[in-house]
Structure 1
Amino acid sequence: MNFPQLVSLANYLASHGLLCLRFTCKGLNLVYRTKAYSAVLNYLKSDEEYKVAGVFLAGRSMGSRAAASLVRTACEQDDSFIQGLICLSYPLHPPKAKSKLRDEDLLMITKPALFISGSADEMCDKTLMTNVIRKIKAPVKIHWVENANHGLTVKGKSLEDVLPEINEQTFLWIDQMLKL
């Protein structure tokens, strides 16, 4: 929840008029995280104070896998509350195990999706990700942060140099999706 890229992105989106909710889970278990994410989503659907009409689910690394799982379920149930998926540093495969793709949820989504990954991400080979994206039946955009690793940091650049690129790409994509 307090990963610098997530804090920066939430602040940027909020400053541009988008309500952002960040939360965290205590475990590194994907099933647990997906259940926690689902509970937050159910709360938003039923909240009377804000009356949220729809959401984009987002996450970083394992959080993006949990978000993708929920988007897949929403697509299967034709749930219009979820409008799209935003994945920062989607972990397409374990480090040094490119043959173990984690693409099962991605291949089943029909909602628009944005992927922001580092071109040097050891958990998201660029060629493999490009091949997976070609198979997704939804509108998909991928933005590669040049020379960034899984943490979306770039050797020789400060985090403050990289954050605007991530924030602007995400906001422009959401804005475009809302205008469709």
Structure 2
Amino acid sequence: MNQVLIDGPSEADTTFIFAHGAGAGMEHEFMAVVAKKIAAHGIRVVRFNFPYMVKRSEDGKKRPPDRAPKLLEHYQEIIATYGSKHTVIGGKSMGGRMASHLSEESRVVGIACLGFPFHPPGKPEKDKGEHLAHIEKPTLILQGERDTFGNRAELESYPFSSSVSLVFVPDGDHSLKPRKASGHTEEDNRQLAADKIAAFIVEVCQ
């Protein structure tokens, strides 16, 4: 049984399927806040839990993410069940990376990723974004400037395909949170991310 949460108009033509990261599920505060901010633009936002997170919600036991094939299969089921006339997929960290591997799904018109995990912190040699050099669907990546999974200095010369748009979030870490001394706020960065995603969704769904 799929667990989902839906924000925004229930019958909208445009849907954003928003996958969670590795360590926290669809109800995490970051996911809830960003989903509601995107939905405020009149977009239907569908959050869901991957199978391992469903089990965690049932028994409270932390467990590592499922293997990629299982994650991708579940994501495809969500697209088939909850996609609409225009469907954009994406997610936070691992969820966004999984979405980027489903770019050839026929119902998907675009991909939006928040904090893409290009590599484990401190291990830039373990690159997980090579496929982004060849992706053909419009793809938006919102990355904190200080993200330890891929920061601004590392990504400004990264070999993206022409379909990828990269937007840096001011002084943001992997959760887009800035340092107080930066003059930016977490609220502003979340709003920026949601507004950028909403504008991207509207553009690719026209």
Band of TM-score, shorter chain: 0.7 to 0.9
Provide the C-alpha distance between the structure 2 equivalents of 1:3 and 1:136, rounded to a whole number of angstroms: 32
Tell me the CA shift for residue 90 of structure 1.
0.2
Deviates more, 1:13-22 or 1:152-161: 152-161
In structure 2, how many angstroms separate the alpha carbons of the residues matched to 1:160 and 1:135? Answer: 29
Q: 1:69 Cα shift?
A: 0.9
Mapped contact 1:68–1:85 kept (Cα < 8 A): yes
Aligned pair 1:87/2:119, yes or no?
no
- In the alignment, what sits opposite 1:36? 74
Counterpart of 1:37, as a letter, is: Y
Report if aligned partners of 2:144, 2:151 keep a CA contact under 8 Å in 1. no
Are positions 1:142 and 2:166 aligned together? yes
Q: Which amino acid aligns with 2:126?
A: K
Q: TM-score, normalised by structure 2?
A: 0.72
Which runs of structure 2 are paired with 1:5-44 in the superposition (5 Å)? Answer: 5-25=30-50, 26=53, 27-31=64-68, 32-44=70-82
Match of 2:122 among 88, 93, 96: 96
CA 1:135 to 1:161, structure 2 compared with 1: closer, same or farther past 3 Å? Answer: closer
Which residue number in structure 2 is paired with residue 49 of structure 1?
none
Task: Write the distance in 2 (CA, Å) between the matches of 1:29 and 1:65.
Answer: 14
**Paired positions, count:** 165
Equivalent residue, structure 2, for 1:114: 140
Match of 1:166 in 2: 193
Provide the aligned C-alpha RMSD in A.
1.9
Alignment partners' CA distance in 1, 2:65 and 2:120: 14
Does the 8 A contact of 2:142 with 2:167 survive in 1? yes
Q: CA deviation at 1:158?
A: 4.7
Which aligned runs of 4 or more in structure 1 are off by greater than 4 angstroms? none
1:3 aligns with 2:37: no
**Alignment correspondent of 2:9:** none
Match of 1:65 in 2: 97
Cα shift at 1:131: 3.0
In proportion to residue count, which structure has more strand?
2
Contact 1:92–1:129 (CA under 8 A) maintained in structure 2: no
Q: Distance in 2 between matches of 1:94 and 1:122?
A: 8
Residue 9 of structure 1 aligns with an amino acid whose one-letter code is V
Residue by residue over 1:63-112, the C-alpha shift from the partner in whole angstroms, topping out at 9 and shown as x without a partner, is 011101111x43xxxx2x10100000000011101111111332331000
Q: Which has the higher helix share?
A: 1
SS in 2 for 1:105: helix
Contact kept, 8 Å, 1:83 with 1:111, in 2: the verdict is yes
| Identity of matched residues, % | 23
- Change in 2 beyond 3 A, CA 1:176/1:42: closer
Deviations 1:4-30 (A, max 9, x none): 332222212222211111012224235
